Structure 1
Amino acid sequence: MGKEDKVKAKAQEVKGMAKERVGEDAGDSALQAKGRMERVKGNLKQAAEKVKDAFKR
């Protein structure tokens, strides 16, 4: 994965945070859970990228 994938992972994290916050404000626990899941996926992808970068050096 390159820089493009890193940007996509960060965008997914931010999108998840937004969904989570909107769900919290609206009292929609399903939307909040979807946002949390999307945020975590973005975090995991970023962590995987960091591990790959560490082994490339």
Structure 2
Amino acid sequence: MPYLIGLTGFKTAVSIARGENWLFDQKINNGEYKIPTIITPIMTIDKYNLVTVEDRWKKRNIKW
């Protein structure tokens, strides 16, 4: 999931830097403006799935 968030941010930044229109999912009203947003999935880390996260980090040879 961090890869997807990073990739989405990178593609958006490149599009903005080139002056191109960028694709967004929806606009969220913050009270003053409607802000274009891209919705990306995230994984909440809690005591129930911490083992899953630890297993993924071990595959990347990262020491705790």
Q: Which of the five TM-score ranges fits, normalised by the shorter chain? A: 0.3 to 0.5
- Bigger helix share: 1
Higher strand fraction: Structure 1 or Structure 2?
Answer: 2
TM norm structure 2 = 0.44
TM-score (norm 1): 0.48
